[in-house]
Amino acid sequence: MLVSKIWALLWSVKPLKHKFAQEGENTSGEETRVSLPHEIIVVEILSRLPAKSLLRFKCVCKAWRSLVSDSKFIQMHLSRAIGRDSVNVFIASKPNIVEKNCRITTRGVDGRCYKKKVTRICKTHMYHIDGDPFNKAIEIENPLEPSLHRTQVLGSCNGLICLYTITSLCLLNPSTREYKLVKLQESLNLDDERTAYGIGYDTVDDDYKLVQAVKCYKFNGNVDYSAVHVYSLSDTTSSIRLGTIPYHILNGKDSGIFLNEAIHWIANSNSKGYSVVILSFNMRDKVFREVPRHDDVSEQAAITVGVLRGQLCMLSKFHTTQIQIWVMSKYGEPNSWTKLCAMEQTVIPSFHMLLRPDIYILDQFLLDSFRPLLFLKNGDILMKDGKDLLLYDLKEKTSRNLELQGIPDWNKTEEIVTHIESLVSLKSGTFVGEVGQTMKRRTRWADIQKLCNKFICIFNDVYEAIFN
């Protein structure tokens, strides 16, 4: 599979020779040959390869190792991974109690952290599904364990997953297995049902940040507004209170969607009679905005948001048994919404709880746990339905459960998020391993060397065929 990808990438460079030759023709009829620098060709090819392969190719030579670790190359690789929709899936299980004698960090009633000897800990299993066809999950070590508390997944941004317990917080790159612990100055109370959250990247401060919105209630029990805090995810958390907004975010258990430098949620607008809107928070200018719907989507319709092929998508349902999927091709422009398809709710297992398909009072509640994740190569859409993964066939208009190896019990899965495959470095030097393996090098040197030699031979042969 990898060899065929390399052949295709190298062959795509060949038309450049003919293009330059036509532009360089002179009056004598002789062809002027223009050669591309070898370094440019290497960068163009490597920046299109999967992160897993590039990590192995760091063993080829010092130059390649330096290139793959270069910040500009990492950014180029990330941009192209987003463009070709190189999305992976990360799953966290429900917590369970296991017997283990160890010392852990816990937080007292006074808010301070201290060490404590325990005989039982809370175990949260982490699984990583690496690329299409999404048929095998690999369990990786939880960097926040041992702990007395469950591990929450707060979302993803640029290939990084944010994990949280009451006493700890960390960023994890599942593709490289690197993680960085972030020191908490205070408990964030992110497991509170009043709290919604999301993580994003601030290009101005060059920092990953956690955005938290906490519902504030009136005396009559209605939500009046939400208080917003922004936390820096550098070595130590530092918070800024932005003030309040006249919205309250629905389904705070699911993290916000980061896209186009903004985090997106579904929220009730208090100023519009509690109508449901798509609310975004721009990480650059720190401003909340509403993303406009298509004119054909009623303001009373139940909606949810996701990302498909790097574009904002919306699911809507209003006085019908169909769930419509809309995609915004030009971000922020309401006329760019295009209806991708309409699914019958009968093919979605979670909607089977409805006694009658024409009862719509539960539509928003059910859509809150339903989200499109990505397109597969065969054209199917991978979707999250509560704690399950579904494959929806656009042609046949049917759905089926994703058959996946590596997860012992699907009933114990808790959180599912997607992340872009990336080489983004946390510069921590700390890594997690796969469960059941030691922290020693997991791939034999002979296998790595064989793969690298095969790549070099193919590269040299095709390079000579193109430019000689």
Given a cut of 80, is residue 160 above it in pLDDT?
Answer: yes
Q: What are phi and psi of 58, to 5 degrees?
A: -65, -15
Which residues are paired to 134 by β-bridges? Answer: none
Exposed, middle or buried: residue 361 (CB in 10 Å: 0-12, 13-18, 19+)? exposed
Lowest-confidence pick of 210-224, 239-253, 388-402: 210-224
The reported pTM is 0.82
Query: In this predicted model, what pLDDT tens digit does every residue of 111-158 receive, in sequence order?
Result: 666 677 776 788 899 999 987 778 889 999 999 988 888 899 999 999
Query: In this predicted model, what pLDDT tens digit does every residue of 391-449 receive, in sequence order?
Result: 999 999 999 888 888 888 877 888 999 999 999 999 999 999 998 765 444 445 556 66
Distance CA 136, CA 129 (A): 6
Are the C-beta atoms of residues 124 and 93 closer than 8 Å to each other? yes
Average pLDDT on 21-26 reads: 45
Which H, E and C letters describe 415-448, residue by residue? EEEEEECCCCCCCCCEECCECCCCCCCCCCHHHH
What type of residue sits at position 336? S
